[in-house]
Homo-oligomer: A and B are copies of this chain.
Amino acid sequence: MSARTGILLLVSGPSGSGKTTLCRRLADEKEAHYSISCTTRPPREGEVHGVDYHFLDRKDFQQRIDAGDFLEHAEVHQNHYGTLRSEVLDFLAKGIDVVMDIDVQGAEQVRHCSNVDIQAALVDLFVMPPSEQELKARLVGRGTDQDNIIALRMENALEEMTHWTEYTYRIVSATREEDYRKFKALLVAERLKISRLTK
């Protein structure tokens, strides 16, 4: 096996598209490092600091912005979200693939990042729900949010959906197994790319 640099796989899609499940499974199967985001939003029930997110207060988040620690950061639903450079670059250099569950704004920032290692590593995927109706069913089905939160999330999801053409790859969600099979194939194929070989 020749040495190569890592792949940075950006995965976007509306809440309810199943993107987080895909990313988490890839990490569970040790195929990639799951880049843990920072956020100022409060933890939901069951969410663990350092596993689901690095939960930061606004002051702490701002200090890290000022220090240039973030690869990207954005405000969504009135909360800050961001990815630390250390969550990505250290892994890529070691040839470890990194998967990022990221919104369209964040992906746009990463795409325009001037770091050459990021640019060489970058692959982006948009995961779409099979239909608007199914998206709504999935958002309601979670049962963790109130109606007004669901409505806001649906509105945001539909806005998010308009950005799919900015991506290289797209998966239209079918079943979990089918989606994962395609997702994994994408990573297997990207690993065959000659451009990332270092010797």
Contacts and interface: CB of A to CB of B under 8 A. Distances in A.
Interface of A: 1-2, 125-126, 164-165, 167-172, 181-182, 184-186, 188-190, 192-195, 197
A169 B192 contact: yes
Contact of A192 (B171, B193, B197): B171
A71 to B, nearest CB: 24
B194 A165 contact: yes
B185 A168 contact: no
Contacts of A192: 125, 169-171, 182, 186
Contacts of A194: 126, 164-165, 167-170
Contacts of A184: 185
6 contacts: A2-B172, A165-B194, A169-B192, A182-B188, A186-B189, A188-B189
Contacts of A190: 189
A167 B192 CA distance: 11
